[in-house]
Homo-oligomer: A and B are copies of this chain.
Amino acid sequence: MAVYTEVSDEELEAFVAGYDIGEVLSFKGIAEGVENSNYLLQTDRGNFILTLYEKRTKPADLPFFLGLMEHLAARGLACPTPLHGRDGRSLRELCGRPAAVVSFLTGVSVRRLTLEHCASLGGAMAEMHLKGADFPQSRPNDLSVAGWRPLFEAEKDRADEVKPGLAVFIEAELAALERAWPRELPTGLVHADLFPDNVFFHGDKVTGIIDFYFACTDALAYDIAICLNAWCFEPDGSFNATKARLMLNSYRKVRPLSAEELNALPLLARGAAMRFLLTRLYDWLNTPAGALVKRKDPLEYYRKLRFHQGITGPGGYGIE
């Protein structure tokens, strides 16, 4: 949660005049999104989210992200739709930062994930993959296998501060992942950060997917692997294979998975766990303990990685 940039009423008024969205009724900074400043903007025409992009989002990537949301929303996916200003542009500037206004989605993100949530997520993710198939732009995944070693190089001297032996463990696992990483799977548009925070529900039903600021072009099954980690482990660290099965089966009803994709899941899940282990470790080592941003435990992802090392095929995730 954060609001990094404060927008004054006069800056807001001038900015909103660039859109055909009516008059401002209310404007409140909201605790949503870790990387950017987000405001809930209410006008006499409805509710909108105004985002100011802070330094961790590369300006050069913004046309990709905004174009993608517009593409998906136009195909009926429940995701934020960027609004165009009177000048036709969706990417504008406010307080010296790139900024955009997107549509508001109802629903709440859930903390206690039920079987029904996991099933619903599987279908929504597959739908997103299908609707993203004809998106014409592409963006490499900086945080896939090629990006992990450079990240680890910056951490390895201090990794053992978090857990003795961690550097050696990561080194060996990285080598294994680099050797075996699947390169022939169906690729397309992946969200790449589909954590429960980024999915809104009404009851059991997905009502929105948000925060496309890690979206990129990669193996579609890699998105599933990220969700196996983010949705199917219980708070005590145990893996809930029923949740995994429901998620995967709902996915397959919308977009069938090939044998190659199913067989690659354990390795992809190890890779997805490595990605979050490395980024969380980086933040852990580089964020002072009392800082504004709450640090997330990197070892949660070490333990998930260890779990997947013990899985030999899709049967470990409850499916054939």
CB contacts (< 8 Å) of A292 on chain B: these are: 292
Known A30-B31, A30-B40, A40-B40; judge A25-B202 contact (CB<8 A): yes
- CA A61 to CA B211, docked complex, whole Å: 41
Residue of B nearest to A288 (CB): B290
Tell me which of A8-16, A69-77, A149-157, A222-230 binds B: A8-16
CB contacts (< 8 Å) of A10 on chain B: these are: 111-112
Let me know if A109 and B9 touch, CB within 8 A: yes
Interface residues of A in 287-317 (CB under 8 A from B): 288, 290-292
- CA A107 to CA B44, docked complex, whole Å: 11
A89 located at the interface, meaning its Cβ lies under 8 Å from any Cβ of chain B in the complex: no
Interface residues on A, range: 20 to 34
A17 located at the interface, meaning its Cβ lies under 8 Å from any Cβ of chain B in the complex: no
Most buried by B among A25, A112, A290: A25
Interface 1/0 per residue, A83-125 and B, CB below 8 Å? 0000000000000000000001111111110000000000000
A143 located at the interface, meaning its Cβ lies under 8 Å from any Cβ of chain B in the complex: no
Residue of B nearest to A24 (CB): B108
Let me know if A28 and B24 touch, CB within 8 A: no
A29 located at the interface, meaning its Cβ lies under 8 Å from any Cβ of chain B in the complex: yes
A32 located at the interface, meaning its Cβ lies under 8 Å from any Cβ of chain B in the complex: yes
CB contacts (< 8 Å) of A290 on chain B: these are: 288, 290-291
Given contacts A8-B110, A28-B30, A28-B31, 10 further A-B contacts (CB under 8 A): A1-B29, A3-B31, A9-B108, A9-B109, A26-B104, A26-B105, A27-B108, A30-B40, A31-B31, A292-B292
